[in-house]
Amino acid sequence: MGQIIQYIQSYRHSDLTPGAAGNMFWALVYIMLVFVGLSVAVIAMNWLERKILAHMQVRLGPMRVGPHGLLQPIADAIKLLLKEDIMPAEADALIFWVAPFVVVLAAFTVFVVVPFGPTHAITDMNIGILFMLGVSSLSVLGIVMAGWASNSHYPLIGALRSSAQMVSYEVAMGLAVVSAILMTSLNADGTGTLSMIGIVQAQQAQHEWFIFKFFPLGLLAFFIFAVAMVAETNRAPFDLAEAESELTAGFHTEYSGFRWSLFFLAEYSAMIAVSSIAVTLWLGGWLRPFPNLLSNSTWDLVFSLFPGITFLFFAAICFYNAARMPKHPLFRIQTVGLAGFGAVLGLIGLILFIPAVSIRVQDIFWFAAKVAGFMYMYIWYRGTFPRYRFDQLMHMGWKVLLPMGLGVLVLTASVALLQEKLWHP
């Protein structure tokens, strides 16, 4: 027993991630935390997407289940779990069963290397970014499996579209990623890194987020990635794999109940995964804004207040809307519920003001805030852009993004070489 406690405590004050330190207990704890956090994020995204889209289209969105529809995702989840699990008679049983799990596994496994902070990652791999790209490209395999195994036309067309789209956009995405990795090698000993934590540390060491590096080259690479990542996750305006107007629901037409919800879960966690790649590579990962420029203790204190203030702001919104609830007796439960939810958020906010807590969570906060920005953009795209036609999609991928990516890569390499030759002979 004492040995176990000693083993658990041996990780404290370590400046490595639990995986890199080889501590199984804390690695397991981190895996559970990431899993729970992701599930909560997917539930929140479900509600937010419907609400934000509705408000963009001057509708109200879900309003019935819970105050302002806050319990709608839970009601949906219960509905999905209680639904009958149907398999088409002519379907290929084994592949039909396995496909959703492949997609979910691929979408969740990538979070092994996502750095929420210098030590807040499950593990730090030497090949971090390569691992993320590789494993997330496995998810399309599950999509094709689902489409083929359903033995039906719409899913098959959806799956074929999805695979063609992934193969085309992965090229441009890879080029953009390579040009960012190239920037990590601009240090004294000239070796770059593929490790996710190493990439963020390189940005810290170079006093510059890579999006601003070699302006506008970093920005262009980021733009290519930002377009390609929407296509990779099959989201609007590139959601041809599940275009409702043409293919009913695309590759998951034949799925229902729990299996369908797995596809849903995988889609949203894949969105979070690619957003965290973008945040890590170009937006400084867990670094707060201006970590070097405004680096005295006053600014440290100011920025450490942000997590608490954010939660207090959410709590204030809840209280404001609770006060605005109709004063009818039928709405009393909803009013109390919303105020209670606000109270919980406010309590979290107050806890985050404790210095010991805020120092430990602020890198996670900044990472999550940047990813949340991307998630909002996803919803915004969906509310704004019309869906691309398939030939337009291919045109965009091969004739616009790919040459642009090649150009950015070559220019980045040349500028880096010039800088090395001119300023550091």
Partner 1 sequence: MAPVATPFFFYLLSGIMLIGGILVITRKNPVHSALALIVTLLAQASIYLMLYAPFVAGVQIILYAGGIMVLFLFVIMLVSIDRSVKERQFNSQWIVGMIAATALGGLFIAVFMKGKNIFPEHALPVIENDNTQNVATMLYGQYMFAFEIASLLLLVAIIGAVVMAKKRI
Residues 325-364 touching partner 1, rule: CB under 8 A, are none
* CB of 186 closer than 8 Å to CB of 116: no
Task: Calculate the alpha carbon distances from 356 to 344, 359, 360, 361 in Å.
Answer: 20, 6, 7, 9
Among 11, 26, 96, 148, interactor with partner 1 by CB under 8 A:
148
* 146 near partner 1, rule: CB under 8 A: no
CB of 270 to partner 1, least distance (A): 14
Nearer to partner 1, 195 or 362 (CB): 195
User: Which range in 71-79, 81-89, 159-167, 349-357 contacts partner 1 by CB under 8 A?
Assistant: 159-167
Q: Give me 393's structure tokens.
A: 């999609």
The Cα 419–Cα 329 span in angstroms is 71
156 binds partner 1, rule: CB under 8 A: yes
Please name the residues in contact with 418: beta carbons below 8 A apart, sequence gap of 6 or more.
none
Location of structure tokens 């084994």:
94
> Which one of the spans 1-9, 46-54, 126-134, 241-249 is the region binding partner 1 (CB under 8 A)?
126-134
Closer CB to partner 1, 200 or 283, in the complex:
200
Going from the C-alpha of 307 to that of each of 38, 110, 299, 377, the distances in angstroms are: 18, 26, 14, 21
164-183 positions binding partner 1, by CB under 8 A: 164, 166-167, 170
Please count the residues of the chain: 425
CA distance 217 to 201: 20
Least CB distance from residue 94 to partner 1, whole Å?
8
Q: Are 409 and 178 in contact (CB under 8 A)?
A: yes
Number of H helices, E strands in the chain: 17, 0
Pick 137 or 256: Cβ nearer partner 1? 137
Reference 277, options 220, 242, 230; nearest CA is 230
Among 39, 137, 204, 206, binds partner 1 (CB under 8 A): 137
Least spacing, CB of residue 345 vs partner 1, in Å: 40
- Identify which of residues 132 and 262 has a Cβ nearer to partner 1 in the complex: 132
Under the criterion CB under 8 A, does residue 21 sit at the interface with partner 1? yes
> According to the binding rule CB under 8 A, does residue 202 interact with partner 1?
no
* Site of interaction with partner 1 (CB under 8 A): 21-22, 92, 95, 125-127, 130-131, 133-135, 137-138, 140-141, 144-145, 148, 156, 160, 163-164, 166-167, 170, 191, 194
